[in-house]
Amino acid sequence: MERLHKNGILDLGTKVITVRVGQEPSHTDFTVHESLIRKSSPFFEAALSRQWREATERLVKLPEADAQAFKLYVHWLYTGHPNIFITGNPHSSDRTQLVKDREIELTKLVQGYLLGDYPQDCDYKDTLADAFLEWGSRFWSGLAQPFKHAAPIYSSTTKGSPVRELIVDFTLWTQRHTCWDGVGDDELPNAFLCDYIRAREAKDRDVAARNSSPFFRFKGTCHYHCHSDDTCYREDIDSDDDIPHFDSLFPEGISDDK
Ligand SMILES: [Zn+2]
């Protein structure tokens, strides 16, 4: 990644910090280069730039964060690529396994995205939003049940958050009517249901939109990004090789949409 290079050479400096993730004593410690995480994360930049305890102890605690999701964030910090690999063979004839695999992938995407709120890392969230779109454009993504992730998304985000729109669009465009069978009365947040109804109405009204899934319409755009007027992470990358190619998420031979 361009941001890690100085005169074309990888330069992370020598200072490292410890990030303690999860509740003590069952926490997980991660060692990360300070320059790297400060450059990407406004939260770490603030925590380490003042004479706060975190800066002197070189230890930042994230007790509420999930260690598995933070591990994926660290992977992205060092590589620029989200580690949301496809599980198993998406063309397998074992439907039970297919449904299970899609749920694992979707859970990783959602947990990864929500983890991005701790470091307030917009580039990370936008990279995952793009991975989300790529994943959603695959025909077998309809096997997952996105609305089941509405509760954690709506409790961790505010109105207007792009990931809310993402999960609503996902539900609207990948689910059959029968998907609602067995959903408990209190399982879905009211705000999600309101957003879903509005999106459904808009879809019915707009003929052009009705025939064009957002997974294709918004691919390559900033529609689900959170950077507002700030520079998009894609523009920060000056080499094609460094742009996350989401085809690499898929094992060889199964990167088609057929
Ligand atoms: Zn963007």
**Per-residue pLDDT tens over the stretch 17-58:** 999 999 999 999 999 999 999 999 999 999 888 777 777 788
Could you tell me the CA-to-CA distances from 205 to 158, 160, 164, 202, 215 in Å, in that order? 26, 21, 21, 5, 19
ipTM: 0.99
Please tell me the predicted confidence (pLDDT) of residue 21.
96
Determine the distance separating the centroid of ligand 1 and the alpha carbon of 226, expressed in angstroms. Answer: 7
Average pLDDT over residues 61-65: 94
Determine the distance separating the centroid of ligand 1 and the alpha carbon of 132, expressed in angstroms. Answer: 14
User: H or E stretch including 62?
Assistant: strand 59-62
Please tell me the predicted confidence (pLDDT) of residue 70.
95
Determine the distance separating the centroid of ligand 1 and the alpha carbon of 130, expressed in angstroms. Answer: 9
Determine the distance separating the centroid of ligand 1 and the alpha carbon of 92, expressed in angstroms. Answer: 35
Between 134 and 237, where is the model more confident?
134
Determine the distance separating the centroid of ligand 1 and the alpha carbon of 126, expressed in angstroms. Answer: 7
pLDDT > 70 fraction of the chain, expressed in percent and rounded: 84
Position 134 confidence tier, pLDDT thresholds 50, 70, 90 = confident
Determine the distance separating the centroid of ligand 1 and the alpha carbon of 80, expressed in angstroms. Answer: 15
Position 9 confidence tier, pLDDT thresholds 50, 70, 90 = low
Distance between CA atoms of 233 and 130, rounded to whole angstroms?
A: 11
Percentage helix, strand, coil for the chain under 3-state DSSP, each rounded to 5: 55, 10, 40
Determine the distance separating the centroid of ligand 1 and the alpha carbon of 237, expressed in angstroms. Answer: 12
Determine the distance separating the centroid of ligand 1 and the alpha carbon of 93, expressed in angstroms. Answer: 37
11 contact partners, CB below 8 Å, separation of at least 6: 4, 5
250 contact partners, CB below 8 Å, separation of at least 6: 86, 90, 138
Average pLDDT over residues 78-82: 84
Q: Are 17 and 34 in contact (CB under 8 A)?
A: yes
Please tell me the predicted confidence (pLDDT) of residue 128.
92
Cα 137 to the center of its chain, rounded Å: 15
Please tell me the predicted confidence (pLDDT) of residue 247.
52
β-pair type (16-21, 28-33) = antiparallel
Question: In the numeric block, which tokens belong to residue 105?
Answer: 């992938």
Please tell me the predicted confidence (pLDDT) of residue 97.
87
Mean pLDDT of the chain: 84
**Per-residue pLDDT tens over the stretch 199-250:** 999 888 887 767 778 888 888 899 999 998 999 988 876 555 555 555 555 5
Determine the distance separating the centroid of ligand 1 and the alpha carbon of 241, expressed in angstroms. Answer: 18
Determine the distance separating the centroid of ligand 1 and the alpha carbon of 88, expressed in angstroms. Answer: 30
Please tell me the predicted confidence (pLDDT) of residue 239.
57
Q: Are 97 and 116 in contact (CB under 8 A)?
A: no
Q: Are 151 and 193 in contact (CB under 8 A)?
A: no
Between 116 and 141, where is the model more confident?
116
Determine the distance separating the centroid of ligand 1 and the alpha carbon of 225, expressed in angstroms. Answer: 5
Residue 111 has pLDDT above 70, yes or no: yes
Position 125 confidence tier, pLDDT thresholds 50, 70, 90 = very high
Determine the distance separating the centroid of ligand 1 and the alpha carbon of 99, expressed in angstroms. Answer: 31
Between 9 and 197, where is the model more confident?
197
Determine the distance separating the centroid of ligand 1 and the alpha carbon of 224, expressed in angstroms. Answer: 8
Q: At which residue do the structure tokens 């959603």 appear?
A: 136
Please tell me the predicted confidence (pLDDT) of residue 246.
55
Determine the distance separating the centroid of ligand 1 and the alpha carbon of 219, expressed in angstroms. Answer: 11
**Per-residue pLDDT tens over the stretch 146-192:** 898 999 999 999 999 999 999 999 898 887 776 777 788 888 999 99
* Contacts of range 42-46, beta carbons closer than 8 Å, 24 or more positions apart: 42/119, 42/120, 42/121, 43/118, 43/119, 43/120, 43/121, 44/17, 44/119
